[in-house]
Amino acid sequence: MTPRPTFPRSSASWRALIGAALAAAHLFLPQPAQACRLALALGFDVSRSVDEADYRLQIDGIVAALFDPAIRRLILDPPEPVALAVFEWAGLREQALLADWTLLDSAAAIDALAQRILLNERRFDSLTAIGPALAYAHALFDAAPACTWQTLDLSGDGQTNAGPHPQVVYRDTDFSAITVNGLAIGGHESTIRAWFERHVRHGPGAFVEYAPTHRHFAETFRRKLIRELSEQMIGSLDPPLDLPGPGPS
């Protein structure tokens, strides 16, 4: 069972934690590149509940999606490219960038990105700090190409148990330009889908996809990616869903 979430006792402490995540992210970020239609960041869970088999299922699922013909058409057919960044996350100060912002403007660019992801070696295996993962992603978008849309894909199989709560990060960091979609993975917590819908999903049109286990990650991720690429291609989003309520003080 995942331990109950722990929260900093003062606003100064969680602000310091978020600041550390932002600073760490900026160490590895490139300068903004040419314009694109969608900046998409993928953040996937490598906390202790994710064993090596589950980790490979996530990596293989992301790579398989990038080679999927339908997804390639959605990426390459429109005139403006998609920019993609990929990172893994676990504990409080444990976020690592697998791939900087890459403009997917050709099949060769997608192939090269998929290869980098496939060859990645896992860096972390500890707690589940979703708030700091969100803060890290926010810093990624600060250095993204100038895109019409900004979307974060955050996947995980457990509730946060370290660092500031996601709603605290949303309350005190400007996510108004970023849509956060979730991919909740079952198998460890029976309420994980509802928890992601309440605490991770954020912004107009945001949604959560559910994979019953890590074995279902690939098909769920593919479905999620197709939905995201299709929505921004038609130039509109669904009506806003219920947004997270007030965060803890």
Residue that wins the pLDDT comparison between 109 and 190: 109
Query: What was the pLDDT predicted at 3?
Result: 41
**Hey, what domains does the chain have and what are their CATH numbers?**
11-27+35-233 (3.40.50.410)
CA distance 6 to 4: 6
CA distance 127 to 156: 12
**Would the pLDDT of 29 be above 80?**
no
CA distances from 26 to 137, 138, 143, 172 (A): 10, 10, 8, 19
> Mean pLDDT in the chain?
81
| pLDDT one-digit tens code per residue, 41-57 | 999 888 888 888 888 89
- Measured from the Cβ of residue 197, the count of other Cβ atoms closer than 10 Å reads 18
- What pTM does this model have? 0.78
Query: What was the pLDDT predicted at 86?
Result: 96
Query: What was the pLDDT predicted at 105?
Result: 92
CA distance 81 to 69: 16
Residue 246 banded pLDDT, cuts 50, 70, 90: very low
The crossing angle, in degrees rounded to 10, of helices 11-26 and 130-142 is 50
